[in-house]
Structure 1
Amino acid sequence: MNVFKRLFDFYLDSSIHIGLSVYALTYTTLIFFKMPYDEAVLYFTFYSTIVTYNFIKYGSSAKQYFFVATRYLRYIQILSFVCFVLACYYALQLQLKTLFVAVGLGLLSTLYILPFLPKQKNLRTLPGYKIAVVALCWTGVTVVLPLLNADVSLVETNVFLLCLQRFLLILILMIPFEISDMSYDDAALGTLPQRLGILQTKRLAYVWILLFIVLEFYLRNAFSVAFFIAAGIGLLLIVSIWQSRIKKSKYFTAFWVESIPIVWFLLLLLCT
């Protein structure tokens, strides 16, 4: 059991689970637009997500990221390097315009922790920006990149609605993390639970979940199987918000909450 727990912790700590969530959401975009399997985009998003999140979690400065002190972090560093090489391999298979957007999103993610303003400010420390930056990056990676690489026009109504729905989904998924981290986050971050309180933040999340389901209806334009799957995902989101607490177990947020996109993808893959 101890070996299993250590492997499972490494699976979570090394961001593999987050990578799978991003892979799943990217694949749902392909399913929605009935596009063929795109290995380059899917594996690029998977591997680059692992690299990016490990950099965000363990690289508050470049020196600390490249020179780690513990064996455990060294294993994560080795995995990140392998994923970086694989991400570069698949990046070379992307269209140039897709790669340009990917680089832009990568830079935005880097500014999440690296200072770019006076007094060592980064995007994460700017009040109210944390949740929006994460949602914007995930939307860009999981919706815009696969569509660009498939030469789908980004000015279509369905693309806009899907981006809005995906943005809302990420905002909702971030709420349990925002609430759980309240005891650790600096008050200057101005997170939603800090500004609105936990109860009001949960109520806002419930409204977002309703909008998520409504947007699914407009996207499908019918009470289809995919719509009812999305409604079921909405119920999972409601439960995750309702169960959110300060200092909640990391397994609740890092595994169960982040598994929701994977569940959505698997249901779509099996039932549609």
Structure 2
Amino acid sequence: MTQNDTRPRTDALPRLHPLDNPARSSLTGPHAHFAESRGRVLRYPVDVSPWIALPDVPDARDWADLAALAGPGGPVALAALQAPPPPDWEIVFRGAGVQLVDAAVDAASDPEAVPLGPLDVPEMLDLVARTRPGPFLPRTVELGTYLGIRRGGVLVAMAGERLHPPGWTEISGVCTDESVRGQGLASRLVLAVAHGIRERGETPFLHASASNTGAIRLYESLGFRLRRRTEFLSALVPAAFPSAHGT
């Protein structure tokens, strides 16, 4: 916190469930080594993940600290907000989402799935560009285990781990090249990633766009159940935010 900040620390406030504010739970927990902070606001490095972690109930100073982190006109990605951004912040995207958790997932390793790492990032970024599963950046692979399937030496499907609240791990980056869709590769990779999460004694969860009914049906068929509905939001810091250069 900044000097003379008399607000209670967020760890002194009544806690929500870790999955109610999963980015914050991650950045104050297993992903704390990634955290960049100002005041009570946390974020991942911009080449790792776009997600911002506000306190459960942000106040005006938190929004000012977020503006300072992102810079004037800077984009921010937010989810599970308890209150909307200030009225002078431009909303560039707003979408309904769902959060699903492992209820009876028949997790299993997959002999064709291979670990992916930093050397595989160019292939992973190319697959993401073709399939658009959601945010995946040059260092996203550092967030956890990623598995892929290759055909003819070409990466055609992948899935991996993203947010990591204590006791939970998010499955993300699930994508399959159009040339091999319908072969069950996404299901196999989700189950394989879930297997690794379970082996650590943690519980898998995931997010999906509420409009992506096909993906939701797939996840439910694998044993995930709806935990809550949420909202994903992207906004721009005002170009001349008064506290953007403050202390």
TM-score, reference length from structure 2? 0.29
